[in-house]
Amino acid sequence: MRGGAGRAGWLFASPALVVIAVFFFLPVLAALVLSVTDFDLYALADIGNLRFVGARNYLRLFETPLFWKALGNTLLFVVLGVPLSIAMSLGTALLLNAGVTRLKGIFRTALFAPVVTTLVAVAVIWKYLLHTRYGLINYALGWFGIDPVDWLGDPNWAMPAIVLFAVWKNYGYNMVIFLAALQNIPPDLYEAARVDGASAVQQFRFVTLSALAPTLSLVGILTMAGYFQLFAEPYVMTQGGPLQSTTSVLYFMYEEGFKWWNLGSASAVAFVLFLIMFAVTLLQFYVARRWSRA
Amino acid sequence: MRPPAAGLLTAALLAVLPACASQSSDEVVLELWAVGREGELVSQLTRDFEASHPGIRVEVQKLPWIGAHEKLLTAVVGDAPPDVAQMGNTWIPEFAAIGALSQLDEEIAGSRVVAPADYFAGVWNTNVVDGRVYGVPWYVDTRLLFYRRDILAEAGYSHPPRSWPEWREMMGTIQRRAAPDHFAVLMPLNEFEPLLALGLQQDEPLLRDGGRWGNFRSAGFRRALAFYVDAFQSGLAPKVTNLQVSNVWDEFGRGFFAFYISGPWQIGEFKRRLPDAVQGAWATAPLPGPDGPGASIASGASLVVFAGSPHKQAAWQLIEYLSRPDIQLRLNALGGDLPPRRTPWNDPALASDVHAAAFRDQLERVEPTPSVPEWQRIATELYVIGEQAAHGRITVDQAAAELDARADRILEKRRWVLDREASE
Amino acid sequence: MSRRSAAITINGALLAIALITLCPLLWMVSVSFMRPGEASSFPPPFLPAQATLANYRELFAQTGMGRHFANSLFLATSATALSLLFNVSAGYAFAKLAFAGRDRVFRVLLGALIIPGQVAMIPLFLMLKQIGLVNTYAGVLIPTMANVFGIFLVRQYAMSIPDELLEAARVDGAGEVRVFRSIVLPALGPILVTLAIFTFLGSWNDFLWPLIVLGDDKLQTLPVALAGLSREHVQDSELMMAGSVVTLLPVLALFLVLQRYYIQGLLAGSVKG
């Protein structure tokens, strides 16, 4: 019987494993190989034009100003977007979880709706919302006496505009996670704190936040990992502009690979991004562990 | 055969026959990819082509300009290109380098319609790579001055500038008289065309040694760069991108700027979108050069046949049809596209168009961009560095040196490939 | 703060946030019914002066959105079917069938989750080109037939199936396939729905891969067509909003009907991970 189950196991699992091996792991390995060659249009025309260049693609990247700009843009997006998104998610989750909240289900659906929408479709909407003259956002800003901002035309404001859009689209996702975690906090903890004389703020700090710590850490890591992969928003809304201010690392990779067909260089960018994300994730794990031990 | 089986066979045949009939073995289906506005207009021309060429059907696929280059390259690399495509002529060296395009020398030699001598030399040469022809120009798209005659007249000038010193002087006078927040010239910082045009006016080529090295440190290009940067530093041009100008026709109509460097499509746009009060007050003029009328960019689109196409003969017939002077005039009537050959220009419709006249003049002095596959990439660096210089973050000499450094790096593979081919 | 004023504040805040969050979507619907050019005026209108279906008519007549809608529907449905086919049996195997190296392989799979998909994209494209699958539906579908997240989801859920149930069936002489069909699949019901929703939505919303693989406009999916359209028709906001409505309607409808399963899947995927 054991042997039968074992064989059945491989039988059941192998179709999926084969697909993943052939169409994911194999290309990833191939990308690694590509990244140490100078595969480009010349090589596509005549494979004899291919050279093994070792780490040169990687080193060249560090000499490419646009790569650093893309990295900077992506970091700006992450630094602005992740805290904003988490704050928004946590805030709305807390509101939803409050005892006095009515129509929880409807509110949750409404706040979550942007998450399932097709990115391109809503990016198109936001492109018009952000229009300098006819957009609702500048119109609303006008109510507060703020001059119209050229969101998508001014190199200084394009990335903040994309941050705004991304946060709007994504915060519902983490909100649901926080909500589930909040609902799992035993009410006796709050009861005990109240009995000890803790104020609402103190209850929040010592009960809520500490119970949420592992979720916060997880959400932070997931959100950061997602935000590092910024691509579709610049592609649809700004084409990496104006003046390359919204070119993210992945957008840079897309242009290297599918606009200029420097496939070797593009693969190097992909791996550098992966390494950066890996390092940042490890860092977050480390920080989270230090923090929870403190 | 037993009845049920016979019935089944008959049914099967009947089911298959209509499918056979609808696709006659003689009919050729050409796939044509057209871009932008021409994508929408060309179907009107291809319908007449189909009528006069029974047996050939043309399926038009429209691409927007943004992303068309990627789409075409991806299609070629993915072994799924169309038969014929409209292609920006600056892309031709790139596609020729990867062997994507069919050489058209034989067809042209045997054609009565496509006569190379009738085409403007600068435009024709954009389709020639290593002495072979890879495309036929379809329409031209050069850049020259659009200007407000009334603003110039108020400043005391009765004719457009014909040289750089004259132009500089006019811009200076206009700027001094202009209201605050108004400028003499609009050159959007995210476009490389103005700087490129100025660079092409110089005697020195933009790349040297057969396109192996950048030549931006030459005296000529530095002069062009200096002129360009000076316009921004002296407050003659606003330091904005074309995205920050919310409606360029509105602004031009309000006199926000007096000079605008743009292309043929603006003639139609200006006629359509400028306020009536200003309709009689604008004109076009050829680009002034360093010491007299100057050159401009020989851009535009060509029609190409892809190397992998199984219908090369039919494809050539389509290209011939679209290259006929009368058909080119129709395209002009439909969309304002300017013909790349001289014959259609003699037609009264075009000959009498006052705004197009400047283009006719300029077309005799257009220069192709360097014929290297990497040119698109180098052109991008032009506006990136140009913008930094315009803002004064780097000097002209630093900008020229940086442009050369970047161009040299981009061209490194080309040097290696050329050396390798030479040594074989 | 009294309970009543707290209730008003909190509910009021939620209402405001909900309205602001939904505002873009509501505005999209409103603009899609406006006359061409109506939305490009200042102050921006909230409601159409006179609702018209002109944009939708033009959308389907001129831009061929109907075709793209059908393409997206076909691809999303096929992707869902394929995903169920490949991921469910694998998820069950990793949960309940002991085979050599099972846990080590699973850990490797989990590691794959960290690698961004875009790393594989370029070589995958070249690979498809070699097989001749560029510009085909198969090229879009095949690489996504199985994925680690789907296997993970199913595995999580399958672990909760009592072993005794399976053992009893085996003792009765049922083969593994029989056990899978008659006991496991019915037990996995809810997670199958979740997986189906995730896959359908994922495929419908997928942008970069169809963009790269499908060159032919006739085969193209809705999001990619919409993106291309938005570059051509920058001035025609009303038409673009109609396009967005058509793209979002199925997705939002599916979500509204099945949100319980979707959120359950979301939590299963991340809380445990």
Pairing of strands B128-129, B257-262: unpaired
SS3 B259: strand
Condensed to tens digits (0 to 9), the pLDDT of residues C134-144 reads: 889 999 998 88
Kindly list the residues from chain A whose CB atom is less than 8 angstroms away from the CB atom of residue B99: 45
What values do phi and psi take at C2, rounded to 5? -65, 160
Is there a contact between C149 and C85 (Cβ–Cβ < 8 Å)? Answer: no
Condensed to tens digits (0 to 9), the pLDDT of residues B219-243 reads 999 999 999 999 999 999 999 888 7
A6 occurs within a structural domain: no
Count how many Cα atoms sit within 13 Å of the Cα of residue B30 in the half-sphere of its side chain: 29
3 state DSSP class of A282: helix
Q: Which residue has the higher pLDDT, B206 or C36?
A: B206
Select from A237, A234, A232 the least CA-distant residue to A131.
A237
Cα–Cα distance for residue pair B54/C245, rounded to 1 Å = 42
Does the pLDDT at position C79 exceed 80?
Answer: yes
CA distance B36 to chain C (A): 7
What does DSSP assign to residue A294? -
d(CA B152, CA A85): 54
Lowest mean pLDDT among B126-135, B173-182, C1-10: C1-10
Token readout for A225 is 């990992």
Q: Mean pLDDT lowest for which of A199-208, B111-120, C140-149?
A: A199-208
pLDDT band at residue B246 under the 50/70/90 scheme: low
Distance CA A95, CA C176 (A): 49
Nearest to A11 by CA among C128, B373, C97, B106: C97
Length of chain B: 424
Q: How confident is the model at residue C271, as a pLDDT?
A: 54
Answer yes or no: is pLDDT of C61 > 60: yes
For C63, residues 6+ apart whose C-beta sits below 8 A from its C-beta are C225, C229, C239, C243
CA distances from B242 to A25, A42, A239 (A): 43, 34, 14
Give pLDDT, residue B268.
Answer: 84
Instruction: Record the tokens describing residue A240, joined without a space.
Output: 């990496």
Topology alike, domains B25-141+298-352 and B144-296+371-423: yes
Higher pLDDT, A290 or A118: A118
Domain of residue A278, CATH code: 1.10.3720.10
- Range A241-256 average pLDDT: 91
Q: Please, which residues have CB within 8 angstroms of residue B131's CB and are 6 or more apart in sequence?
A: none
Residue C120 CA, chain-centre distance (Å), reads: 20
The CA distances from residue B324 to A17, B114, C118, in Å, are 59, 8, 46
Residue A122 lies in a domain: yes
User: What mean pLDDT, rounded, does chain A reach?
Assistant: 88
Q: Which pLDDT value is given to residue A3?
A: 55
Q: Is the pLDDT of residue B345 over 60?
A: yes
Residues near C75 by Cβ (< 8 Å), separated by ≥ 6? C137, C140, C141, C203, C204, C210, C221
Sign (positive or negative) of CA dihedral A47, A49, A50, A52: positive
In the predicted model, is pLDDT for residue B18 greater than 80?
A: no
Cβ pair C241, C248 in contact under 8 A: no
Judge whether C10 is closer than 8 Å to chain A, CB to CB. Answer: yes
**Chain B interface includes A156 (CB < 8 A):** no
**CATH 3.40.190.10 is the classification of domain B144-296+371-423:** yes
Q: What is the predicted pLDDT for the residue at B397?
A: 96
Per domain, the residue ranges of chain B are 25-141+298-352, 144-296+371-423
User: Alpha carbon C92 to chain centroid distance?
Assistant: 22
Q: How many degrees, rounded to 5, is the angle at CA B210 between CA B209 and CA B215?
A: 50
Provide the H-helix boundaries in chain A. 2-20, 26-35, 41-45, 56-62, 65-97, 104-116, 119-129, 136-143, 158-183, 187-195, 200-203, 210-228, 232-233, 249-254, 263-293
Alpha-carbon distance of B84 to B86, in angstroms, equals 7
pLDDT of residue A5: 59
pLDDT above 90 as % of chain B: 69
* Contact call for residues B34 and B86 (beta carbons, < 8 A): yes
Kindly state whether residue A144 falls inside one of the protein's structural domains: yes
The closest CB to that of A135, out of C23, C44, C145, belongs to C44
Rg (C-alpha) for chain B, rounded Å, is: 25
For chain C, percent of residues with pLDDT exceeding 90: 29
**pLDDT value of position A196:** 85
| Cβ contact B78–C135 (<8 Å) | yes
Residue A119 domain-assigned (yes or no): yes
The domain B25-141+298-352 belongs to what CATH superfamily?
Periplasmic binding protein-like II (3.40.190.10)
Query: How big is the CA angle at B96 (ends B198 and B302), to the nearest 5 degrees?
Result: 60
Angstrom distance (rounded) from CA C203 to CA C207:
9
Would the pLDDT of A293 be above 80? no
Instruction: Give the gap in angstroms from C-alpha B414 to the nearest C-alpha of chain A.
Output: 8
Mean pLDDT of the C159-177 span: 86
Interface contact A153-B98, CB threshold 8 A? no
Q: Are B202 and B290 in contact (CB under 8 A)?
A: yes
Q: State the total domains in chain A.
A: 1
Q: What is the mean pLDDT of residues A40-44?
A: 87
Residue A210 and residue A205: Cα distance in Å, rounded?
A: 7
Q: Look at residue B115 and give its three-state secondary structure.
A: coil
Which residue of B lies nearest to C214 if distances are taken between CA atoms? Answer: B75
Which residues form the domain of A102? Answer: 63-293
pLDDT at residue A15 is higher than 60: yes
* Backbone angles phi and psi of A52, in degrees to 5: -85, 125
Check residue C113 and give its pLDDT.
78
Q: Do the beta carbons of residue C91 and residue C215 sit within 8 Å?
A: no
Touching check for B273 and chain C: CB below 8 Å? no
Please, what is the average pLDDT of chain B? 89
Q: What angle do CA C262, C265, C271 make, to 5 degrees?
A: 130
A contacts of C230 (beta carbons < 8 Å)? 120, 124, 127, 236
- Range among A83-97, C53-67, C162-176 with highest mean pLDDT value: A83-97
The CATH number given to C64-271 is 1.10.3720.10
Tokens of B423: 């040594």
Residue A211 banded pLDDT, cuts 50, 70, 90: confident
* pLDDT of amino acid A294: 61
Q: Is the pLDDT of residue B307 over 90?
A: yes
Query: Which pLDDT does position B52 carry in this prediction?
Result: 92
> Is B66 in Cβ contact with C215 (below 8 Å)?
no
In a domain, A27, yes or no: no
**Does a structural domain hold residue A45?**
no
- Sorting pLDDT into bands at 50, 70 and 90, what band is C270? low
Q: For residue C270, what are the contacts with CB-CB under 8 A and spacing of at least 6?
A: A177, A218, A222
How far is residue B143's CA from residue C245's CA, in Å, rounded to a whole number? Answer: 40
Q: What is the ipTM of this complex?
A: 0.84
Q: Assess whether pLDDT exceeds 50 at residue B17.
A: no
- Residue range A19-35: mean pLDDT, rounded: 93
Q: Which residue of B has its CA nearest to A258?
A: B70
A84: pLDDT strictly greater than 80: yes
Is any Cβ of chain B less than 8 angstroms from the Cβ of A239? yes
| B35 and C CB contact within 8 Å | no
The crossing angle, in degrees rounded to 10, of helices C222-232 and A119-129 is: 20
Q: What is the mean pLDDT of residues A168-181?
A: 92
Contact A15 C255 (CB under 8 A): no
Whether residue A146 has pLDDT greater than 50: yes
Cα dihedral value B319, B324, B328, B329, nearest 10? -160
Q: What is the arithmetic mean of pLDDT over C226-250?
A: 85
Mean pLDDT calculated for residue range B30-41 = 90
Average pLDDT of chain C is 87
Q: What single-letter DSSP state applies at residue A256?
A: I
Contact by Cβ (8 Å): C184, B43: no
Is the pLDDT score of B11 beyond 50? no
Query: Lowest-pLDDT range, B279-283, B405-409, C41-45?
Result: C41-45
Sequence letter at residue B288: P
Confidence band for C1, pLDDT divided at 50, 70 and 90: low
Q: Which chain B residue's Cα is nearest to C125?
A: B78
DSSP state of A185: S
